[in-house]
């Protein structure tokens, strides 16, 4: 069977006859992909209608797909979007805002620290500042090379949904038992696995990654999938206001969640549409969450 590259074979009509990917949001739709400014989409969503918001906003770093704004303008733009996201979020819902660092003339500006006051002013409660560690990126010569980004996880209340079981990872010592006391002889760890912690080793999408498209900063599906599985239930609604090439939609739809999102770039919106179709017909290629990161079987020794 021929594998379709999601960055090619794009229809000339961005939204052709299509019964499964809708252009505008209605509560009963399984998947909505809005082409345009996310604020326009957010204004159409009812208050308290979304279970989970997962996104990776532009970093304001002059990449091909971004426009560089004055730092204050960038902050105000993000504030406007985050405020609308908070409005549409359910009382039991979560917001996961994935960001990196803004680098200007060699100076590092952590975007999570820059944006935290916005969430705090909206009375959202931070549950974790997850560190996403990856192995590849730009090499620096006058500082240590950056190999992590963060996910700020906020909730609207203390009554939020969270289920650890679907995202547990294998125990380091699965057969370890209590050696004394009333639990002597019983396993000392959870047989379902352990908490994956707040430091996640998940490869980023680079040239040889199975999910690679034309997008320069693509979200790996596995990163979103862990959030979707832990923070939502079947048929819940997941929103991504910066959809990119559709990774949040893919992670949601393949796990029986509903998806809604916006993308302002026509090319990336078309790629997202193609990848969502491939998810529906089960031809999408993604890196599995549980797939181990490659480890060399031997070390080369330089004489």
pLDDT at 68: 62
CA–CA distance, 24 with 79 (Å, rounded to integer) = 24
Mapped onto helix, strand or coil, the DSSP state of residue 20 is coil
Least confident of 60-64, 146-150, 240-244, 257-261: 60-64
Q: Which residue has the tokens 């620096």?
A: 140
Two tokens at 291? 């797939």
5 pLDDT higher than 50 = no
- Give residue 90's pLDDT band: very low, low, confident or very high (50, 70, 90): very high
Cβ within 8 Å of residue 13, ≥6 positions away: none
Q: What is the pLDDT of residue 139?
A: 72
Structure confidence at residue 217 as a pLDDT band (50, 70, 90):
low
- Could you give the CA distance from residue 221 to residue 215 in angstroms, rounded to a whole number? 14
pLDDT above 70: percentage of residues in the chain: 77
Lowest mean pLDDT among 40-54, 61-75, 143-157: 61-75
| Start-end of H helices in the chain | 38-42, 71-88, 111-121, 221-231, 247-253, 266-280
Question: What pLDDT score was predicted for residue 13?
Answer: 44
Domains of the chain, first to last: 31-164+196-280 (3.40.50.150)
Mean pLDDT (the chain) is 83
- Cβ pair 69, 54 in contact under 8 A: no
Q: What is the DSSP code string of 133-163?
A: E-S-----SSSPPP-EEEEEEEESSSS----
H-helix segments, 158-297: 221-231, 247-253, 266-280
Distance, CA of 155 to CA of 91 (rounded, Å): 8
Lowest mean pLDDT among 31-35, 253-257, 266-270, 294-298: 294-298
Give, in order, the Cα–Cα distances in Å from 295 to each of 20, 131, 205, 292, 299: 40, 21, 18, 8, 10
pLDDT of residue 107 exceeding 80 = yes
Nearest to 152 by CA among 49, 53, 290, 260: 53
What's the pLDDT tens digit per position in 128-185? 999 998 876 667 778 777 778 999 999 999 999 999 999 998 887 766 766 777 777 6
SS3 130: strand
For residue 144, what pLDDT is reported? 78
Backbone angles phi, psi at 173, to 5 degrees: -125, 75
pLDDT (mean) for 29-35: 96
48-57, 189-198, 200-209: range with lowest mean pLDDT: 200-209
Q: Which residue has the higher pLDDT, 70 or 280?
A: 280
Stretch 7-15: mean pLDDT: 40
- CA–CA dist 203, 223 (Å, integer): 9
């Amino acid at each position: 069977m021929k594998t379709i590259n999601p960055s090619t074979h794009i229809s000339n009509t961005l939204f052709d006859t299509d019964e499964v990917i809708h252009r505008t949001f209605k509560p009963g739709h399984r998947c909505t992909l809005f082409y345009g400014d996310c604020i326009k989409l957010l204004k159409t969503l009812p208050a308290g209608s979304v279970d989970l918001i997962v996104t990776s906003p532009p970093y304001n770093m002059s990449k091909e797909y971004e426009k560089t704004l004055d730092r204050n303008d960038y902050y105000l733009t993000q504030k406007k979007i985050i405020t609308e996201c908070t409005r549409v979020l359910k009382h039991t819902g979560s917001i996961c805002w994935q960001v990196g660092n803004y680098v200007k003339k060699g100076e590092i500006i952590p975007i999570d620290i820059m944006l935290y006051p916005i969430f705090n002013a909206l009375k959202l409660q931070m549950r974790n500042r997850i560190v996403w560690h990856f192995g590849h990126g730009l090499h620096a010569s006058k500082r240590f090379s950056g190999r992590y980004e963060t996910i700020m996880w906020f909730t609207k209340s203390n009554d939020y949904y969270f289920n650890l079981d679907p995202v547990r990872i294998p125990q380091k010592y699965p057969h370890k038992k209590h050696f004394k006391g009333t639990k002597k002889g019983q396993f000392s760890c959870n047989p379902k696995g352990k908490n994956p912690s707040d430091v996640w080793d998940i490869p980023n999408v680079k040239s040889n990654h199975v999910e690679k498209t034309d997008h320069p900063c693509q979200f790996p599906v596995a990163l979103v999938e862990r959030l979707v599985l832990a923070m939502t239930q079947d048929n819940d609604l997941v929103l991504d206001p910066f959809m990119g090439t559709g990774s949040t939609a893919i992670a949601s739809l393949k796990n029986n969640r509903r998806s809604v999102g916006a993308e302002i770039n026509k090319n990336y919106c078309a790629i997202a549409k193609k990848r969502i179709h491939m998810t529906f017909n089960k031809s999408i290629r993604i890196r599995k969450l549980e797939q181990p990161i490659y480890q060399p079987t031997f070390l080369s020794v330089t004489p």
